[in-house]
Chains A and B, each alone.
Chain A
Amino acid sequence: KQEVTQIPAALSVPEGENLVLNCSFTDSAIYNLQWFRQDPGKGLTSLLLIQSSQREQTSGRLNASLDKSSGRSTLYIAASQPGDSATYLCVICAVIVVSYGKLTFGQGTILTVHP
C-alpha cells in the first residue's frame, strides 16, 4: 500500500526566503507525482506534475524534483512571498492497472510566509 509522508507538517518563513518542502513515498511504482496548492476553504490547484520518467519540472519560482529510487520528491520555492502561504500537497498517481489513476495524498505542509 502506497504511503506518502510530507515533512515538515508546518513551516513559517520570512518573505524572500528560498525553501524546500519534502515528500517521501513507499512504493516506487508510480505513474506520476503532482504537487498541489490548497488555500483555506478552497479546492486544489495543480502546481507541477512530474511523470514517472522525468526527474524534475519547473514553473516560475517553483521547481519539483523526483527520485523514484529513493522514494523522494522535493518542491523548491524561490524568493517566497506572502501570497505563497497555503497548504502544499504531494500526490502520487499509481500505475494504471484499471480504468483510473488512484491518487494517494500526503497530509500536506502548511506554509506561512510572513512579511
Chain B
Amino acid sequence: DAMVIQNPRYQVTQFGKPVTLSCSQTLNHNVMYWYQQKSSQAPKLLFHYYDKDFNNEADTPDNFQSRRPNTSFCFLDIRSPGLGDAAMYLCATLQRGSPNEQFFGPGTRLTVL
C-alpha cells in the first residue's frame, strides 16, 4: 500500500512557468519534507513542515515555496523554474519519536524546457 504518494511522477514545464508538485501521505506523520535530487547527487533538503510550522533551509532559493494545508498534503511550488531546477523532487514523512524513520515517496521528475 502506497504510504507517501507524489503526483505527478513526471512533470514537464517551460522556463519561467510556475509549477506545483504534490505529495500526500496515509501515515498521519507530523513532519513532511521536500528534497531536491540532481543526477548522481545525494538528495538536498529544501524545507520541512513540523505540523504547520514551516522550516526553510538557509540555502533554499526564494523561487521555491511550500504549502501544507492539512496533515496529509504538502505542495512544492516553483514560481519561475529555471533550467537548473530540473531534478527529481522527493517528498518524505516522519513521525517524531522512536524510531524516527523517514519514509520517501517515489519522486517527481521535473523537466524544464
Interface residues of A (CB under 8 A from B): 31-32, 34, 36, 41-46, 49, 51, 89, 93, 96, 98-103, 105-108
Interface hub of B31, B55, B94, B104 (most chain A Cβ within 10 A) = B104
A-facing residues in B84-113 (Cβ within 8 Å) = 88, 90, 92, 94, 96, 98-107, 109
Taking A89-B42, A99-B53, A101-B100 as known contacts, 9 extra A-B pairs with beta carbons closer than 8 A to each other, sorted by chain A number, are A32-B100, A41-B109, A43-B105, A43-B107, A45-B104, A96-B96, A100-B50, A101-B94, A105-B43
Min distance, Cβ B28 to any Cβ of chain A, angstroms: 17
Min distance, Cβ B36 to any Cβ of chain A, angstroms: 12
A56 to B50, CA, bound (A): 30
A32 to B96, CA, bound (A): 13
What residues of B have a CB within 8 angstroms of the CB of A44 in the complex? Answer: 43, 90, 92, 104
Which of B43, B94, B105 sits near A100, CB closer than 8 Å? B94
A76 to B65, CA, bound (A): 40
Interface residues of B (CB under 8 A from A): 6, 31, 33, 41-43, 45, 48, 50, 53, 55, 88, 90, 92, 94, 96, 98-107, 109
- Are B88 and A32 in contact, CB atoms less than 8 angstroms apart? no
Which of A41, A101, A106 sits near B102, CB closer than 8 Å? A101
What residues of B have a CB within 8 angstroms of the CB of A108 in the complex? Answer: 42
Min distance, Cβ A9 to any Cβ of chain B, angstroms: 10
For B92, the closest partner residue in chain A by CB is A44
The 26 listed contacts between A and B (C-beta, < 8 Å) are A31-B100, A32-B99, A36-B104, A41-B109, A42-B106, A43-B106, A46-B101, A46-B102, A46-B103, A46-B104, A49-B99, A51-B99, A93-B102, A96-B100, A99-B50, A100-B33, A100-B48, A100-B96, A101-B96, A102-B45, A103-B43, A103-B102, A106-B42, A107-B41, A107-B42, A108-B42
